């Protein structure tokens, strides 16, 4: 017959073993979770594209606050970022190199070769990243998002092309 002290020693050894296994599991989960950063550049580029699309065209029509017609704009190029409440300012360590690029083209349906309105903002050097984006070898380059949508203004149809690019590789890629 085992006395109570012997049973307590065996139970305490198992208790410490279980405690070490649980602590090791928690440590492993935390290190896996925080070990590498999440790459949210593609999602950020898509959100930027959607924000611009919502600003330009709401309910299938070009926003009349921005466009009077395709030729007459209300300060579209000069104040676009302000009118659409878009801020390209990033952390202080990136002030000398812009981390975003944005290209918008509004084409009349009858003349798709020349945009009626075009706007380019940000770091133009990021455009080259879009050509090799699908290749796994160049995963550490900027992420691109392209979108086309149709809209109307005064019974005239327009094609809107939006290209948004997000770099921010120092935070998102290791």
The pLDDT profile of the chain, 174 residues, written as one tens digit per residue, is 555 565 666 677 888 889 999 999 999 999 888 877 677 888 888 998 998 888 888 887 877 777 665 554 545 666 777 778 887 776 655 556 778 888 988 888 888 888 877 888 888 888 887 777 666 666 777 888 899 988 888 788 888 899 998 887 666 565
Alpha-carbon 65 to chain mean position = 26
Q: What is the pLDDT of residue 120?
A: 85
Distance CA 66, CA 87 (A): 18
- Dist. CA 166–CA 137, nearest whole Å: 18
Predicted pLDDT at 77? 63
Question: Whole-structure pTM over 0.85, yes or no?
Answer: no
pLDDT for residue 24: 96
């Amino acid at each position: 017959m085992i006395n109570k002290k012997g049973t307590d020693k065996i139970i305490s050894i198992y208790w410490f073993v279980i405690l070490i296994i649980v602590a090791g599991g928690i440590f492993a989960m935390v290190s896996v979770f925080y070990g590498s950063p999440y790459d949210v550049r593609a999602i950020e580029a898509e959100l930027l594209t959607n924000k611009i699309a919502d600003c330009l065209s709401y309910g299938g029509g070009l926003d009349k606050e921005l466009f009077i017609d395709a030729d007459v704009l209300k300060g579209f190029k000069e104040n676009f970022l302000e009118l659409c409440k878009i801020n390209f300012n990033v952390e202080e360590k990136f002030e000398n190199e812009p981390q975003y690029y944005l290209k918008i083209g509004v084409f009349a349906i009858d003349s798709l070769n020349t945009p009626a309105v075009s706007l380019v903002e940000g770091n133009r050097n990021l455009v080259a990243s879009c050509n090799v984006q699908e290749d796994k070898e160049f995963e550490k380059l900027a992420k691109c998002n392209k979108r086309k949508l149709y809209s109307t203004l005064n019974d005239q149809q327009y094609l809107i092309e939006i290209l948004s690019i997000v770099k921010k590789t120092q935070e998102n890629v290791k």
